[in-house]
């Protein structure tokens, strides 16, 4: 995968919308706050000015990161997903062999991960352990609490 980040069309659109909002709404708003704070006089004792400048710095970092993510983003052709093995955008049902608990996750790019929606980043330890494996495989995955064996029960879209 290297530096390329694979995303769905929906994921790419969300990233573009967030960037658009930050550059067209947040950035001008902060510039205005800085200008207003600057007009209040002595900048060395102006907490509003310092806070606005810091917020601007954070915003610019966020914008730069988003631009970088977007420059490396590639849309996944969902019709070409092969269900023989676990890949990004496949839904995988796994069974924790220690406690018998069954979980189901969709593997997605880092920018689209959302544990509440069972969307697991391909960068996570569990996903890394599952990628490329097939139904019936048992995978030992190192988690903070130790090593857990998971059996792959099903792979779907």
Buried b (16+ CB within 10 A) or exposed e, 34-65: beebeeeeeeeeeeebeebbeebeebeeebee
Rounded mean pLDDT of 133-143? 92
Give the total number of structural domains in the chain: 2
Identify the CATH number of the domain in which residue 26 sits: 1.10.287.180
Per-residue pLDDT band at 151 (split at 50, 70, 90): very high
Separation CA 143–CA 157 (nearest Å): 26
User: Could you tell me if 130 and 86 lie in one domain?
Assistant: yes
For position 48, what pLDDT does the model report? Answer: 84
CB 7 within 8 A of CB 33: no
User: Could you tell me if 85 and 151 lie in one domain?
Assistant: yes
User: Could you tell me if 85 and 57 lie in one domain?
Assistant: no
User: Could you tell me if 16 and 66 lie in one domain?
Assistant: yes
User: Could you tell me if 84 and 43 lie in one domain?
Assistant: no
How far is C-alpha 44 from the geometric centre of its chain's CA atoms?
39
User: Could you tell me if 99 and 114 lie in one domain?
Assistant: yes
Identify the CATH number of the domain in which residue 101 sits: 3.10.50.30
Which comes out higher in pLDDT, residue 42 or 109?
Answer: 109
* Structure-block tokens of residue 53: 């400048």
Kindly report, residue by residue over 62-98, the tens digit of the pLDDT. Answer: 999 999 888 888 887 777 777 888 988 899 999 999 9
DSSP one-letter string for 69-131: HHHHEEE--GGG--TTS--TT-EEEEEETTT--EEEEEEE-GGG-BGGGTEEETTSHHHHHHT
Query: Of 36, 53, 75, which residue constitutes the final position of a domain?
Result: 75
User: Could you tell me if 67 and 122 lie in one domain?
Assistant: no
Q: Is the pLDDT of residue 112 over 90?
A: no
User: Could you tell me if 41 and 109 lie in one domain?
Assistant: no
Q: Is the pLDDT of residue 140 over 50?
A: yes
Give the domain range for residue 21.
5-75
* Overall pTM > 0.75: no
Query: Of 75, 92, 114, which residue constitutes the final position of a domain?
Result: 75
For position 1, what pLDDT does the model report? Answer: 40
User: Could you tell me if 44 and 84 lie in one domain?
Assistant: no
Q: Is the pLDDT of residue 110 over 90?
A: no
Kindly report, residue by residue over 45-59, the tens digit of the pLDDT. Answer: 788 888 888 999 999
Share of the chain above pLDDT 90, in %: 46
User: Could you tell me if 106 and 128 lie in one domain?
Assistant: yes
User: Could you tell me if 43 and 24 lie in one domain?
Assistant: yes
């Amino acid at each position: 995968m290297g530096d390329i980040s694979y995303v769905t069309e929906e994921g790419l659109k969300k990233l573009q919308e967030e960037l658009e909002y930050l550059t067209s709404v947040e950035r001008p708003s902060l510039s205005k706050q800085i200008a207003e704070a600057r007009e209040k006089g002595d900048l060395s004792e102006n907490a509003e000015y310092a806070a606005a400048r810091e917020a601007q710095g954070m915003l610019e970092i966020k914008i730069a990161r988003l631009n970088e993510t977007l420059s490396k983003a590639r849309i996944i052709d969902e019709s070409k997903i092969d269900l023989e093995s676990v890949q990004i955008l496949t839904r995988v049902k796994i069974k924790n062999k220690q406690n018998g608990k069954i979980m189901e996750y969709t593997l997605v790019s880092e920018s689209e991960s959302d544990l509440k929606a069972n969307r697991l980043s391909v960068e996570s330890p569990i996903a890394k352990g599952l990628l490329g494996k097939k139904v019936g495989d048992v995978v030992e995955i190192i988690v903070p609490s130790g090593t857990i064996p998971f059996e792959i029960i099903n792979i779907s879209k």
